């Protein structure tokens, strides 16, 4: 009877060791949970960016206002008869 108890206790200790320190252990599970959460957040950010890009594409397909706005902001273009003013920030003195 003493040997059976000793074998069962040893087996329990080995299983506990594997549960906490072995491959696919509880800390591994926690780490995978954390990585999964980070990927979900990253996917949400990318989905939001994709929806903004889709809206931008639709805007470019539909109207000339979006094209004109991009030409002004990105290329610095102005319409005929307009005057362009550039306001520079004051120089910073040390």
Question: Which candidate, 71, 89, 70, places its Cα nearest to that of 80?
Answer: 71
pLDDT score of 94: 57
- pLDDT category, 92, cuts 50, 70, 90? low
Structure token digits, residue 8: 């069962």
pTM value is 0.51
CA distance 60 to 77: 17
Per-residue model confidence as pLDDT tens digits over 2-61: 888 888 888 888 888 887 787 888 888 899 999 999 999 999 999 999 999 998 888 777
């Amino acid at each position: 009877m003493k040997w059976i108890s000793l074998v069962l206790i040893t087996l329990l200790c080995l299983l506990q060791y594997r549960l906490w320190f072995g491959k696919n252990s509880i800390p591994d599970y926690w780490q995978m949970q954390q990585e999964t959460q980070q990927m979900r957040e990253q996917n949400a950010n990318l989905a939001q960016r994709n929806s903004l890009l889709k809206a931008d594409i639709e805007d470019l397909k539909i109207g000339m206002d979006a094209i004109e706005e991009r030409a002004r902001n990105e290329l610095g273009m102005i319409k005929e008869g307009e005057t362009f003013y550039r306001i520079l920030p004051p120089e910073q003195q040390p």
